[in-house]
Amino acid sequence: MQHDVKEHDVKQRGEVDRHGRQTTTVTVGNALEVFLAFAVGCTLWAALRRLRGRQITAFRCPACARPTSRAYPRCRHCGAPVS
């Protein structure tokens, strides 16, 4: 009688342990997935921002068609006036 109870106890504990481990694994997996999605989102956002910033700052000279900045009154490459 006592032996049966002990065996049942051990079996139950083992099941609980296994369940706990599974839950932990799933939680870690979800956290990793969320972290990866966050990292990918951040990378995409940074790339988009960089691309947009380049599009705004990059301005092609009408005379030589090379990228220059509208911050300068004249093209840095050929000296043509940039308006």
At closest approach, how far in Å is the CB of 55 from Zn ion? 19
Q: Does 82 bind Zn ion (CB under 5 A)?
A: no
Q: Does 64 bind Zn ion (CB under 5 A)?
A: yes
Q: For tokens 């009154």, what's the residue? A: 73
Q: Which of 42, 46, 47, 78 binds Zn ion (CB under 5 A)?
A: 78
Q: Does 77 bind Zn ion (CB under 5 A)?
A: yes
Binding residues (CB under 5 A) for Zn ion: these are: 61, 63-64, 75, 77-78, 80
